[in-house]
Amino acid sequence: MNVCDPHFHLWNISERPNPNLGEEVNKSLPVYETGDYARDMRNLPVPLNLTSGVHVETVVGQMSGGFPLDTVEETTWVCNQLSPGEESFPFGIVGYVHLARDTAESERMLVKHQEAAEGRFRGVRMILNHHPDNPDLTWPQVEHGDFLQSSIFQEGISLLGEKGLSFDLQCNPHQLEDSAIVFNKYPQTQVILNHLGLMHDGEDEAHDQIWRNGMRALASIPNVYVKLSMLWFARNNYHQNAVEEAKIKNMVYEVIDLFGVDRCMFASNYPVEMVQGISVETLYGKFLSWTESMSEPERAALFCDTATRIYKIHSK
């Protein structure tokens, strides 16, 4: 069974410093390059075979006056990393562009990314995770929680659709319903929600219901898709605890029921999962066991076909 991994990361902090990745990554995994990713993905359980993927930016946020990161240089660096193996591993790039400052500048940056990626650029992720009360749910250098309401940001979303590019949406559950209102206005732009909507483990039932309402709202918009990934954020230790695994499996099924297999995709989020102690073999072993009762076409959609269609990844 073919696997397209639509969400993985590469970095080398010694060459390209990036404090936004966090202290744990800087300490335990300062370098993770193509060879490391290829080594880890060789541990995919039978019958899975990695055939393509999408690299997603590691910039996180860019705050005025904060640590400067060259976003186009990341696209260039990643392409240089992956292009030698492109014959057997065609890939796309999702880069960072700050869409809420100046639309003309956003367009210039998109052109730069497209030129740097040489036909491999597929879209933008600008992380929106911000919480007014919980600093743990505000991601590095994300300035505020009002980007969705910004007319300039919305112009940027429209611009992506005009250019045939997608937007990777990453936000907290309390931002999901507002996201649905905004992205419903731009049906031309494909939106891929990251990480199962980032329900946060340890919150109360009200939080779970906010997540559920937001997911239903997004599911009603046909141009929104979901990555079934970073599941430990919703149910920590699910890979070692049968009770927690049952809970996260039910959440995954709930999302698949809402969106359908043709709008859902499994993703590794590697090497972030490795930092959490979750091996590729364990991660994809869970995906396989949870989908045993599905048909071949349904499983093919979740493991590969949805991702290759949405991100326009074609075999060489």
Residue 179 covered by a domain: yes
Q: Where are the alpha helices (DSSP H) in the chain?
A: 23-28, 34-41, 71-82, 103-117, 151-162, 176-183, 205-219, 242-259, 272-275, 280-290, 296-300, 306-310
315 — pLDDT class (breaks 50, 70, 90): low
Looking at residue 32, its pLDDT comes to 98
Residue-range definition of the domain harbouring residue 282: 2-310
How many domains is the chain built from?
1
| 119, 90 contact by CB (below 8 A) | no
Q: Confirm whether 270 is domain-assigned.
A: yes
Q: What is the pLDDT of residue 314?
A: 82
Mean pLDDT of the 299-315 span = 95
DSSP character at residue 195: G
Residue 24 lies in a domain: yes
Q: 226 Cβ partners below 8 Å, 6+ apart?
A: 192, 193, 196, 197, 218, 255, 259, 263, 264, 265
Residue 315 in domain: no
In the chain, % of residues over pLDDT 70: 99
Tens digits of residue pLDDT in 238-264: 999 999 999 999 999 999 999 999 999
pLDDT digits (tens, 9 = 90+) for 258-283: 999 999 999 999 999 999 999 999 99
- Residue 45 in domain: yes
CATH of the domain at 23: 3.20.20.140
Q: What is the mean pLDDT of the chain?
A: 96
Question: How far, in Å, CA of 47 to CA of 49, rounded?
Answer: 7
Handedness of CA 54, 258, 213, 207 (dihedral sign): negative
Give the model confidence (pLDDT) of 194-207 as tens digits: 999 999 999 999 99
Q: List, for residues 33-72, the tens digit of each pLDDT value.
A: 999 999 999 999 999 999 999 999 999 999 999 999 999 9
H or E stretch covering 55: strand 49-56
Is 316 inside any structural domain?
Answer: no
Residue 203 lies in a domain: yes
Q: Is the pLDDT of residue 316 over 80?
A: no
